[in-house]
Amino acid sequence: MEIILLQDIEKVGQKHTIVTVRDGYGSNYLIPQGMALVANKTNRGQLDTLKRREGAQEAKLLADYQIIADKLKGAVLRIGAKVGTSGKIFGSVTNVQLATAIKEQMDIDIDRRKIHLPEDVKEVGTYEAVIDLHKAIDSKVKFEVVGE
């Protein structure tokens, strides 16, 4: 079954590409979830209009993402954690805690799935996280883990 992907799907393909998948996967999962359309003659004709429309929306969002990246660039977030006597944290700092800290301290809403920690944060100290705002814009934010 040939389908047009409406979003990036890992191990299947990129957004707005025509791919071939198994019939059951396409008709029972991808199409009902709104992730794809059947690649018939009508939908193939509308693919260019869909690309143009989403390209215009993407350009508007790109400017907003650049503003957010500039705000995050020089900021240092403080995240409190329970610490033992040796300076190790009980548990670890996750992208969920980082997203909450960004919301509380900077009033910026960022989806936790866009935040990537390059290493496990299990001790008090200063770290850096990468935030994938857009394909073209990656921002880095520094955060400091302090004991409560």
Statement to judge: residues 73 and 45 lie in one domain? no
Mean pLDDT of 133-143: 85
Strands in 138-147's sheet, in edge-to-edge order, are 76-81, 138-147, 125-132, 115-116
Residue span of the structural domain in which 30 resides: 2-62
Q: Identify the sign of the CA torsion 37, 40, 45, 48.
A: positive
CATH number of the domain within which 19 lies:
3.40.5.10
Statement to judge: residues 72 and 142 lie in one domain? yes
Q: What DSSP element (H or E) covers 88?
A: strand 88-93
Residue 42: predicted pLDDT:
92
Q: How far is CA 78 from the centre of its chain?
A: 22
Domain count, the chain: 2
Residue 34: predicted pLDDT:
93
**SS3 category, 29:** helix
Q: Is the pLDDT of residue 87 over 80?
A: no
Q: For residue 140, which of 126, 124, 129, 127 has the smallest C-alpha distance?
A: 129
Listed residues 62, 84, 109: the one ending a domain: 62
Q: What DSSP element (H or E) covers 127?
A: strand 125-132
Count the residues in the chain: 148
Statement to judge: residues 110 and 131 lie in one domain? yes
Statement to judge: residues 85 and 37 lie in one domain? no
Statement to judge: residues 49 and 76 lie in one domain? no
Residue 1: predicted pLDDT:
93
Residue 37: predicted pLDDT:
93
Listed residues 40, 62, 84: the one ending a domain: 62
Per-residue pLDDT of 119-136, as tens digits, reads 888 888 899 999 988 878
| The model scores a pTM over 0.75 | no
Per-residue pLDDT of 14-50, as tens digits, reads 888 999 999 999 999 999 999 999 999 999 989 888 8
